[in-house]
Structure 1
Amino acid sequence: MRRGTITQVTSRPAAAQHLSDLARLRRVRDRIDREYAQPLDVEALARGVNMSAGHLSREFKRAYGEPPYAYLMTRRIERAMALLRRGDLSVTEICFAVGCSSLGTFSTRFTELVGMPPSVYRRQAAGAIVGIPSCVAKQVTRPIRNREAPVSGPQLA
């Protein structure tokens, strides 16, 4: 009987802490979604919710399946894809518009997540989504980190 009481007493604060952590993680994710084009780093995100950077990274990955920086880059690439489909900005302008400071890093991450360089994506996406509502195009073309594009290798016939 006494053992059950101890478990109940100790599990309540743990459950409350877990709920508090989930609320803080949601605030971090919402901030990334809102401020993806701003210079963000894990340390600044963690300070904003009174967590250590390591704890934030571990808990964010456990809750959302990827670390905060990967989530940020996925959001940036997702926005870049929409801008590339629109077609009125250069790849360099899009790189800086989504918060990346290096065109090389942007192109590398874009290629890893989407499976093709930004310039190729722009050419292929121009005709592929004609007539599709933008809300549907966004869902269909959304990059998902856990489903990264396979690395291109030699084709076997």
Structure 2
Amino acid sequence: MRRRTDSAVHLRRARDFIDRRFADSELRLDDIAAAALMSRSHLVREFARQYGVTPGAYLSLRRLERAQDLLRFANLTVTEVCHNVGFTSIGSFSTAFAQRFGETPSAFQRRWSAATQPRIPGCEILMRSARDGVVGADRVTQEKRERASAS
């Protein structure tokens, strides 16, 4: 039983590492495996068994979820969002986003911009992210919480 518990700890470490570093476009499977203290192949196998997706698929999902938040609440262009969440190609980002959510990032942003309160200025997100070391989408989530508690 100890072996299963140790593996779970390492897998949580890998997942947490991805959650913290998802915006890093240079993040590679080797980095994730090193953080989890596992070989690449063992990590992929066990991660998929535990979470139902590979580490690469989980990374893409995290990036897309954060992009969704930024498109919804930040005053950033689709290209800025794309790069802020770790994608390096706007084409790949747009395709992945449309496959996951059923509409392009631009259409999603237009739909939400018409239906929500004033958006957080993009420069604010980018400056605070750089200053605080907080990833852009996490800053958006924090800003939303601050607005809600102030109202």
Q: TM-score under structure 1 normalisation?
A: 0.70
Shift of 1:100: 0.8
**Residue in 2 that maps onto 1:41:** 28
**Residue in 2 that maps onto 1:122:** 109
Render the CA deviation track for 1:9-45: whole Å, top value 9, x for unaligned. Answer: xxxxxx2111111000000101111111012122221
Render the CA deviation track for 1:93-139: whole Å, top value 9, x for unaligned. Answer: 11000011111111111111111110001011234456xxx57xxxx
- SS of the equivalent of 2:63 reads helix
**Residue in 2 that maps onto 1:112:** 99
**Residue in 2 that maps onto 1:71:** 58
Shift of 1:49: 2.2
Match of 1:84 among 38, 55, 71: 71
- Distance, in Å, in 1 between the alignment partners of 2:47 and 2:113 is 35
Q: Flag structure 2 segments of 5+ consecutive residues without an equivalent.
A: 118-143, 146-151
Contact 2:13-2:35 within 8 A present in 1 as well: no
Give the CA RMSD over aligned residues.
Answer: 1.9
Structure holding more helix per residue:
2
Contact 1:25-1:56 within 8 A present in 2 as well: yes
**Residue in 2 that maps onto 1:21:** 7
Contact 2:17-2:35 within 8 A present in 1 as well: no
- Distance, in Å, in 1 between the alignment partners of 2:115 and 2:13 is 35
1:93 aligns with 2:68: no
Q: 4+ runs of 1 displaced by more than 6 Å?
A: none
Aligned-partner residue type, residue 90 of structure 2: L
Contact 2:47-2:55 within 8 A present in 1 as well: yes
Q: TM-score under structure 2 normalisation?
A: 0.73
- Distance, in Å, in 1 between the alignment partners of 2:59 and 2:116 is 25
Aligned-pair identity (%): 43
- Classify 1:129/1:67 alpha carbon distance in 2 versus 1 (closer, same or farther; 3 Å): farther
Q: Flag structure 1 segments of 5+ consecutive residues without an equivalent.
A: 1-14, 136-157
Contact 1:87-1:122 within 8 A present in 2 as well: no
